[in-house]
Amino acid sequence: MPDAGKRSKFEIVAREDFSDVTYLLEVYHPLMAKAAHPGQFVIVMSHEHGERIPLTIADFDRAKGTITLVIQAVGKSTREMQQNCQVGTALHGVAGPMGIPSEISHARKTAFVGGGLGVAPVYPQARAAKEAGAYVIGILGFRNKGLMFWDDKFRRCCDELIVCTDDGSAGVMGPVTKGIRVAIDGHPDIDEFVAIGPPVMMKACAEATRPNGIRTVVSLNPIMVDGTGMCGGCRVKVGGQIRFACVDGPDFDGHQVDFDDLMSRLKRFKQEEHAALERWSENCRMRGVVTAGASSASGRDAADAADDLAASFDPYEEAKGG
């Protein structure tokens, strides 16, 4: 049963900040590390009064007994976690691993597409495919070179790696769909694509592969409460049918998914989210809390940054992982 050793339950044993808004947490949970498979997710509560937020398991280490989460600070909860989740602290709750594990297909040649934060959850799948003996092509998309992460990890498990950046500061300039074209042109025999990232990116990927009829698996991360099939908040339309991403997914056939429906449903709590973020930022300002963001080159304080986010950023635009 859960290790009663020196580590406390759900303790954060390592943290890495990829950028002002993206961070990695390695959480001690030996049972979860043992049970986790690529493609699964956890529901995290950072504190007793917190929300239950779904986060894809970006990696797991069975020997160390840890799972890795990569999080983008976009809403109140994820920004608060960015501030509070330091090594040695513990999360209030971590439940999972949820969802049906990704099928490690017998495809001989598979391309793994990760956009932004989606790079993290696609990694264990790429690694598993490599271990299963497939020819693995990695296609990673970032806004710019500064936001790039885990390209080294991918290099180790990919036979070929294509990096795309919006501004061309690294690799190919353009969206990941450009990378997909490059991959298909170079390898007309790709059996399968796996694409994880913001819904709009997964939609574009599905459209990019549709003409070639190449199977394209996407991993959906809609708004959830329980993650166990009980609330139906995460329902998505796949092939005209209602499916629950938490227990029927999160992987679905990208050519069947109604992405417009998904993107619309991701905006369900937009107003409430903005209000919560504003309240929280205000609270931070009152308490004079300075977040990691404050040390950024821009020199502005975190509360201002959060205000900007509240005003401009759609928390679900890049919902994957946050």
Partner 1 sequence: MAKKKTIRTIPQKRAPIREQAPAERVRNFSEVSCGFRVDDALHEAERCLLCPDPACVAGCPVSIDIPGFIQKISAKDFRGAYDVITDTNLLPAVCGRVCPQETQCEGVCPVGETLEPVAIGRLERFIGDQGIQEGWTSIPYIEPNGFRIGIVGSGPAGMACAADMTKAGCEVTVYEAFHLPGGVLRYGIPDFRLPNDVIDAEIENLRRLGVRFECNTLVGRLFTIEQMIEELGFDAVFVGTGAGYPSFLGVPGDSLNGVLSANELLTRCNLMRAKDAGYDTPIPLGRRIAVIGSGNTAMDAMRVCLRLGADKVHCIYRRTRAECPARAEEVHHAEEEGVEFHWLTNPVEVLGDDKDNVRALRCIRMELGEPDESGRRRPLPVAGSEFEFEADLVVVAIGTNANPIIGQTSKLKLNRRGYIETDANLATSMAGVFAGGDIVTGAATVIEAMGAGRTAARSMKAWLGIRDTDRVYETGRAGGDGKRFGIDVRERNYARVRIA
Chain residues that interact with partner 1, rule: CB under 8 A: 1-2, 10, 31-32, 35, 40, 45, 49-52, 76-77, 92-98, 100, 225-233, 235, 237, 242, 244, 247-248, 261, 264-265, 267-269, 272-273, 276
Pairwise CA distance, residues 274 & 54, whole Å: 19
Q: Which of 51/142 has CB closer to partner 1?
A: 51
Q: Closest separation between CB of residue 222 and partner 1, Å?
A: 10
Q: Which of 214/306 has CB closer to partner 1?
A: 306
Q: Closest separation between CB of residue 239 and partner 1, Å?
A: 14
β-pair type (41-45, 93-98): antiparallel
Identity of the amino acid at 56: T
Identity of the amino acid at 127: R
With a CB cutoff of 8 Å and minimum separation 6, the contacts of 15 are 23, 24, 25, 26, 85, 86, 87
Residue 260 CB coordination number (10 Å):
11
CA triple 13-44-15, angle to 5 deg: 25
Residue 241 CB coordination number (10 Å):
10
Q: Closest separation between CB of residue 318 and partner 1, Å?
A: 19
Per the listing, tokens 């005209």 go with 240
Contact assessment for residue 78 and residue 162, using Cβ atoms and an 8 Å cutoff: no
Per the listing, tokens 């909860």 go with 77
Contact assessment for residue 121 and residue 112, using Cβ atoms and an 8 Å cutoff: no
Q: Closest separation between CB of residue 33 and partner 1, Å?
A: 11
Q: Closest separation between CB of residue 55 and partner 1, Å?
A: 14
Q: Which of 130/235 has CB closer to partner 1?
A: 235
Contact assessment for residue 144 and residue 167, using Cβ atoms and an 8 Å cutoff: yes
Q: Which of 193/316 has CB closer to partner 1?
A: 316
Q: Closest separation between CB of residue 94 and partner 1, Å?
A: 6
Q: Which of 30/171 has CB closer to partner 1?
A: 30
Pairwise CA distance, residues 198 & 318, whole Å: 5
Q: Closest separation between CB of residue 25 and partner 1, Å?
A: 16
Identity of the amino acid at 288: G
Q: Which of 93/146 has CB closer to partner 1?
A: 93
Q: Which of 182/231 has CB closer to partner 1?
A: 231
Q: Closest separation between CB of residue 241 and partner 1, Å?
A: 10
Q: Which of 95/294 has CB closer to partner 1?
A: 95
Contact assessment for residue 151 and residue 174, using Cβ atoms and an 8 Å cutoff: no
Contact assessment for residue 123 and residue 154, using Cβ atoms and an 8 Å cutoff: yes
